Structure 1
Amino acid sequence: MTASTAPGEHPTILATLREMSGTVRILFLGNLIINLAAFLNAFLVLFLTGKGFSAWESGAVLTALMIGRISGSAVGGAAADRFGYRRAIIGSMAASAVLTAALVHVPNVWTAMLVAGGAGLTAQAYRPAAMAWLVELTPKDRQVIAFSVWRLTFNIGTTVGPVGAALLLAYASYSALFYVDAATSLAFGVIAYAALRSGPEPEGRAKRTDEGERVGYRQVFADRRFMLVVLGLFVTAIAYIQSSAALPLFVTGSGHTEKVYAALLSVNGFLVIAFEVLLSKWTQRLPIGLPMALGMVLLGAGQLVYAGPSSVTVLVLATAVWTAGEIIAAPSMMAYPGLVAPPALRARYIAAATVPQHVGNAIGPMIGIAAWHAWGSGVWLLTGAFGLVAACLVLAGTGLPRRRAQDEPDEAPAMAANQAAAEQST
């Protein structure tokens, strides 16, 4: 990597994109590919009920899939730190392809639950490896920008993907959805095998501490300040998921149609895709905890606005406010674990920050819907407060010593040079 940014200057988005290593670009491409055809979550229940499974059985299989996805990050983080990032990605994608295709042929609910759990686990297990590799190959003063691009590939994939799903359902079948989903995982696995070159991975293997103990999640959990941030991310996830849980109930319960709710989701999607990468140029310059906390405050403030008048104008305004919070906070939230992690625990730190967010997304709908039924619009007082609490936890956890990643020695250029040499040697 050739760093064209002069000392003291802030990197631009174009410079960051231009100077990314080939490995980072392949990781972005893989993230886009697999999210273009991530159909399991949305269509598993419809597929199973169409095969003759009862609604209860289909729900149980979906639950197994979700449990698998939650545990997949933890398993993937340990595998990445122990065996290396490239191997973790290849193994995850290969297993995900096989298990996703196998769901088409499950004969009963117990087999379906087992296969779905495995499919969820393996589909998620690649992420800690990919994100840790991205951290190692990106200079610290560019990682917020890099993770905003990572999120952009995800958002484009999940936005365009449903169009492909509609075409497949119109001209093929539900089985074709899962085969295509499996094929994209296999494609990323093949690309990782053929194009990703590990070179030396000094930070991506299990190591021992000075006392001779193997590193693991125990060391992650012992980092109390980091765990405060993780708790903040968990609380944030509970608040954020209300856009899919309490918000549709609130909108229709306020006398509006489902089209208004769909329009609010469109506002969110448009603002994120249009502005997140652009804004990351400025949020990258801030102490790492500040955009996280500010975004969480805006998330809470936007949800508190919902508690006021329920006109369409107010609903759009509230959505724009909490979306601004998402845009400001999300890239820094993704960059933070890898920035503060010890090198030998980088993937585990990323996984430790990811799993609680999955758990928050899983239990958040139950909390939001229960609060909606109990208090009506008062649900927004609760979830809005969650955003403010999360901001306090993040500020307490990040603190002054971890505020600026630029204050620490930056190993990424040397790692990127090693990576480039490995790519050229092949």
Structure 2
Amino acid sequence: MPSTVRVLMVGNLVSNLAAFLNAFLVLYLLHEGFSAWESGVVLTALMVGRILGSAVGGTAADRFGYRWTIIGSTAATAVLTAAIVYVPNVWVGVLVAGGAGLTATAFRPAAMARVVELTPDERQVMTFSIWRATFNIGSTLGPLTAALLLTWFDSYVPLFLADAATSLCYGLVALLVLPADSARGGKHKEEKAGKQPAPGYRKVVSDGRFVLVVLGLFLTSVAYIQMNSSLPLFVTESGFDSRIYAVMLAINGFMVIALELWLSKWTQKAPIGLPMAAGMGLLGLGYLTYLGPSQTWILLAGTVVWTFGEVIAAPSMLAYPGLVAPAALRGRYIGLATLATQIAYSVGPVVGVTAWHWWGTRLWVLTGACAGAAAVCVAVGAGVRARPRPRELHVSTERESEPA
């Protein structure tokens, strides 16, 4: 990988290693005397900000450049995260937490777009497999780091200051190390020279095939997130010990770490729609397995199947938006795909838990149907026979006729 991509990989690792604000915000606010309702409102603002940050970050990446979007968003995240410890009331907390959530995710479309720009098409899937590995390592070691800080300082404040410090360091490294963005295509430069309005998300959503893939990403994310919401309810209320659920999570984590990079050596050679559709299909099939007899081996076998689906599909899902995007809209394409996933992760647990209470084990029919529909959307939108090519960006040059 080019040195710039390596820097972005390390930044992705560190930003997830010290992402303490999500997990400990409510505990900190309760400790500081805020009510449970006030703490929940502030946390909601943080989550809404994180969802909106993907769309805002995609726009900023295309308009201001990848490098400056990364620098600006990480610097703002550092300031706002540190400011959390000084909020005097719930409404200031809402503003600060919402802003921190927005800026904390705004850099991701720019960073991913820069990775796409510097990586040959035939290596995109493997590169984003490594990107996922850095995310998973950071997310796994983060809680252990938080436990150590809490043991040493017996306070939540150092957690937020450490979170802010890592964001600030990322921004400084981006300022000092990342080179300026390369030119993003002749058409984009001509649009700027002619002072034509830059295309926005309206142009992205007019790409019907891409929107179909985004719908597939949304549906498969709704299905996938059930591992953290309705699956533990299903396991414990089916008469199993909670340790069985822990074993299922351990199987998932081990397979992702052990197999994803290795399998990416082969999936990157296939038409990118094929591993996405196949993986989504396996995800649904694995969840449908839970409709079988309530036996331990059935639970473990189903977990193996849907985890295979995850490791086959996930790297290609990350690589696809940047591969098909016109250069001038790469940030927005990635931002829209990320936005769909973030929304799914927010509404998916509510949908799953509600379905479990209404329908019991028939929840897995709904989950399998979501994953199956996602596979169809991706197969149609991305295709399963040919590698994707960047979409052509057509901007109208016609002028309205002036009145006589």
5 Å-filtered alignment, 1:9-408, equals 20-172=1-153, 173-198=155-180, 200-202=182-184, 208=191, 212-399=196-383, 403-405=386-388
Are the counterparts in 1 of residues 326 and 390 from structure 2 also a CA contact under 8 Å?
no
Q: Distance in 2 between matches of 1:254 and 1:168?
A: 38
Deviates more, 1:29-38 or 1:207-216: 207-216
For structure 1, which runs of at least 5 residues remain unmatched after alignment? 1-19, 410-426
Instruction: State the shift of 1:49 in Å.
Output: 1.2
Deviates more, 1:307-316 or 1:390-399: 307-316
Report the secondary structure of 2:81's partner residue: helix
Aligned residues: 388
Instruction: State the shift of 1:223 in Å.
Output: 0.3
Are the counterparts in 1 of residues 128 and 319 from structure 2 also a CA contact under 8 Å?
yes
Are the counterparts in 2 of residues 295 and 325 from structure 1 also a CA contact under 8 Å?
yes
Q: Distance in 2 between matches of 1:185 and 1:408?
A: 32
CA RMSD of superposed structures (Å): 1.9
Instruction: State the shift of 1:319 in Å.
Output: 1.1
Instruction: State the shift of 1:259 in Å.
Output: 2.1
Distance 1:199 1:89, change over 3 A: closer
Are the counterparts in 2 of residues 83 and 206 from structure 1 also a CA contact under 8 Å?
no
Are the counterparts in 2 of residues 304 and 384 from structure 1 also a CA contact under 8 Å?
yes
Q: Distance in 1 between matches of 2:217 and 2:84?
A: 32
Q: Distance in 2 between matches of 1:335 and 1:186?
A: 27
Instruction: State the shift of 1:366 in Å.
Output: 0.8
Q: Distance in 1 between matches of 2:370 and 2:390?
A: 32
Are the counterparts in 1 of residues 274 and 383 from structure 2 also a CA contact under 8 Å?
no
Q: Kindly provide the amino acid, as one letter, of the partner of residue 247 in structure 1.
A: L
Report the secondary structure of 2:291's partner residue: coil
Q: Kindly provide the amino acid, as one letter, of the partner of residue 349 in structure 1.
A: Y
Instruction: State the shift of 1:156 in Å.
Output: 0.5
Deviations 1:86-142 (A, max 9, x none): 100000100001111111111111111111110000000000000000001000000
Q: Distance in 2 between matches of 1:241 and 1:168?
A: 29
Instruction: State the shift of 1:211 in Å.
Output: 10
Would you identify which runs of 4 or more consecutive aligned residues in structure 1 move more than 6 Å?
204-207
Q: Distance in 1 between matches of 2:146 and 2:326?
A: 41
| TM superposition score normalised by structure 2 | 0.93
2:401 is matched with which residue?
none
Instruction: State the shift of 1:257 in Å.
Output: 2.5
Instruction: State the shift of 1:408 in Å.
Output: 7.5
Instruction: State the shift of 1:44 in Å.
Output: 1.2
For structure 2, which runs of at least 5 residues remain unmatched after alignment? 392-404
Q: Kindly provide the amino acid, as one letter, of the partner of residue 387 in structure 2.
A: R
Distance 1:120 1:197, change over 3 A: same
Instruction: State the shift of 1:203 in Å.
Output: 5.2
Are the counterparts in 2 of residues 82 and 206 from structure 1 also a CA contact under 8 Å?
no
Deviations 1:358-416 (A, max 9, x none): 1111111111000100111111111111100000011111136x8314x789xxxxxxx
Q: Kindly provide the amino acid, as one letter, of the partner of residue 320 in structure 1.
A: V
Instruction: State the shift of 1:207 in Å.
Output: 7.0
Q: Kindly provide the amino acid, as one letter, of the partner of residue 329 in structure 2.
A: L
Q: Kindly provide the amino acid, as one letter, of the partner of residue 257 in structure 2.
A: I
Instruction: State the shift of 1:38 in Å.
Output: 0.8
Q: Distance in 1 between matches of 2:237 and 2:190?
A: 55
Q: Distance in 1 between matches of 2:209 and 2:63?
A: 24
Q: Kindly provide the amino acid, as one letter, of the partner of residue 337 in structure 1.
A: P
| TM superposition score normalised by structure 1 | 0.88
1:11 is matched with which residue?
none
Deviates more, 1:163-172 or 1:326-335: 163-172
Are the counterparts in 2 of residues 237 and 357 from structure 1 also a CA contact under 8 Å?
yes
